[in-house]
Amino acid sequence: MPLQRTHVSLVMVVLLALTAGCSGIFGGADTGASGSMATPTDGNGPAPGTSGFDAAAIETGHFETLSTESFTASLSFRLSTVRDGENRSVFVNRTVAVDRTDDRALATGALVRANGAALETTTYTANGTTAERRVLSTPNRTATEYRSDTAPYDGAVRPVNASSVLDRSLVQSLGSDVDWTFAGTETVDGDRVSRFEASGRNVTGFAADEAVAANVTEGESIDAVSASVLVDERGVVRSFRYSLATERDGRPFSVTLTLSVSGVGETTVEEPDWLSKATA
């Protein structure tokens, strides 16, 4: 039976970033965490809810917290495959910092292709003005473009959208499409978090997106699918990692998606040093 394919708008944001370079949501890996592991008999550790992965409680806590507090969300997406004997891998890295105290936001991202071409985009929004720097690099040249716009933003420039990184579909999908097992507790940025893990058939409901999902058959490659998530006591999803490795039409195919949320209540955003070039 083919692996069930579930549309998750999180990955649609990633795919939009490939062409527009102006969207972002959570990211990074669940590395850097430290602390002692608790026993699985704790049920769900500091994560909200009574037992296990309580999707409703986590969704409420996650969005209520990030809707009012500053934070930094990072995303890393890698698709690796070979086509016609050539490496066709794509790597996307995106970070969005939201400073609610000073009402500023900064988004940085990079799209890198196997042929060496790369697009780096930085977008800064404050006081009703958005400035953008785009750096396109190829093996032969590098071109830098600056541009800016103000509300109502009728042109190509769009403000950093804090709401876009609060897309509820990710948490909803984590709750409905993955059969999580509580794996203990650890610490992230000094906060205790609950760790939940899933692999193989327990992850078959979460297949990233129709655009990147692979057909993984039972008894063959299904065990190459795994996921982990870290949730703090307020319900904030501090880290999520999803990976799939299989073959498509006899070619190796893998997808890795990692997300993280950090600096909750502490993130600050400074003006970029190139701001005057974009607004001149």
Contact between 262 and 236 under an 8 Å Cβ cutoff? The reply is no
The answer to whether residue 253 sits within a structural domain is yes
**What's the confidence (pLDDT) of residue 70?**
96
Dihedrals φ, ψ of 43, to 5°? 90, -65
Q: How far is CA 175 from the centre of its chain?
A: 17
Tokens of 9: 């708008």
Which pTM does this prediction carry?
A: 0.79
Q: How many residues does the chain have?
A: 280
Rounded CA separation 126/147 (Å): 15
DSSP helix/strand/coil, 264 = coil
The answer to whether residue 152 sits within a structural domain is yes
**What's the confidence (pLDDT) of residue 87?**
78
Contact between 133 and 271 under an 8 Å Cβ cutoff? The reply is no
The answer to whether residue 1 sits within a structural domain is no
The answer to whether residue 4 sits within a structural domain is no
* Residue in this structure with the two tokens 């190829």, named with its chain if needed: 138
* Residue in this structure with the two tokens 């502490």, named with its chain if needed: 266
* Residue in this structure with the two tokens 């490939």, named with its chain if needed: 18
Note the pLDDT tens digit of each residue in 201-249.
777 666 543 433 444 444 344 447 889 999 999 999 999 998 888 777 7
The answer to whether residue 192 sits within a structural domain is yes
The answer to whether residue 44 sits within a structural domain is yes
The answer to whether residue 78 sits within a structural domain is yes
Note the pLDDT tens digit of each residue in 15-29.
443 334 333 322 333
> Rounded to whole angstroms, what are the CA distances from 87 to 103, 225, 249, 250, 269?
42, 22, 15, 14, 37
Q: What residue numbers bound the domain in which 246 lies?
A: 9-279
**What's the confidence (pLDDT) of residue 218?**
40
The answer to whether residue 252 sits within a structural domain is yes
Nearest partner of 153 among 169, 129, 178, judged by Cα: 129
Note the pLDDT tens digit of each residue in 104-116.
999 999 988 877 8
Please count the structural domains in the chain.
Answer: 1
